[in-house]
Amino acid sequence: MRVLVTGGAGFIGSQIVRALSAHGHEPVVYDVLADPASDVRDPDAVRRALTGVDAVCHQAAMVGLGVGFSDAAEYVSRNDLGTAVLLTGMADAGVRRLVLAGSMVVYGEGRYVCERHGVVRPGPRAVADLDAGRFEPPCPVCGADLSPGLVAEDAPVDPRNVYATTKLAQEHLAAAWARATGGSAVSLRYHNVYGPGMPRDTPYAGVASFFRSALARGEAPRVFEDGRQRRDFVHVRDVAAANVAALEASSAEGALVAYNTGSGDPHTVGEMARALAAAYGGPEPVVTGEYRLGDVRHITADSARLRGELGWKAEVGFEEGMTEFAGAGLRGE
């Protein structure tokens, strides 16, 4: 296949380009990092890029929690307007296969169980609780402690910040495109992707990049809250392999299918910081008790559907991946 990879010069996109080439496909990079004219919000540029293309792997996006609500318009422009322009171009060009870079942030908090009330959905955490160091969300019915678990793709969505809202809107746009055109759309809901080539020293990068950048400066990684918040850290090469599997699969026509894309091996943020610091040989992490209001406490998902339906599985283990990441360069170093 000839595959247009938007964001193909970026952290994840560049790995997807390599994986596509290794599997005999012809990737076409479309990225403002490679060419400032390659903006997904430009209908004419998108139309030209789609010439002769069989499928699109849409990775271009403004990512991360950001620096406040002041950049909401930029998120919506880059992520949602850009996706709408791209999908319109695909509809006009007759391109009927899409793989979208989705995100686990669409769920908000993960899955929680109360001993008395079963599966519950806690609301956003209160500022007073966070200020007091009460980071675990209580049962919304009785206030009791909750046990976190794995969230499945059929869980209700509950985006808690601007970035999360735009990622969910991307899925809705892709679903509408699929229904209107008879195309097939897959959203890979990435978990915490890390690995060589992550951008450094930017408020839009992931937590692994923050910690790795601090170590490169000779500083201790600063861990928010109490460091016990749970995440699924998945290696970028495994994410790239998931994209290839989704592109090559026979997907349902006229619909969007979402797949959680995680390692299946959750760890706390504190564990990740300690593993990375040990592998790098840098200072021990410092647990600060600070927080970001848009963050959720625990979010780890069940990737069984992706493994079962597309035959994909994560190959890079946590210790191996962190050791490699500690010794690899970051984008911008």
**Could you tell me the residue ranges of all domains in the chain?**
2-111+149-327
DSSP per residue, 144-163:
---EEEEEPTTSPP---SHH
Q: CB within 8 A of 180, min separation 6: which ones?
A: 91
Q: Which of these, 38, 39, 8, 40, lies nearest to 25 by C-alpha position? A: 8
Question: H-type helices in 71-196, by residue range?
Answer: 72-75, 82-93, 127-131, 162-181
Task: Specify the pLDDT at position 196.
Answer: 92
Q: Print burial letters for 41-78: b (CB count within 10 Å at least 16), e (below 16).
A: bbeebbeebbeebebbbbbbbbbbbbeeeebeeebbeb
Q: Does domain 2-111+149-327 have CATH number 3.30.565.10?
A: no
How far apart CA 212 and CA 204 sit, in angstroms, is 14
Task: Specify the pLDDT at position 135.
Answer: 97
Task: Specify the pLDDT at position 203.
Answer: 60
Q: What is the mean pLDDT of each run of 10 residues along the chain (333 residues)?
A: 97 97 98 93 98 98 78 95 98 98 94 96 92 96 96 93 95 98 98 90 76 94 97 97 96 93 96 97 96 90 95 96 91 64
Task: Specify the pLDDT at position 92.
Answer: 98
Indicate which residues carry an active-site annotation.
Answer: 163
Instruction: Give me 21's structure tokens.
Output: 């080439």
Q: Which of these, 32, 34, 79, lies nearest to 58 by C-alpha position? A: 79
Three-state DSSP class for 106?
helix
Task: Specify the pLDDT at position 70.
Answer: 85
Instruction: Name the pTM for this structure.
Output: 0.94
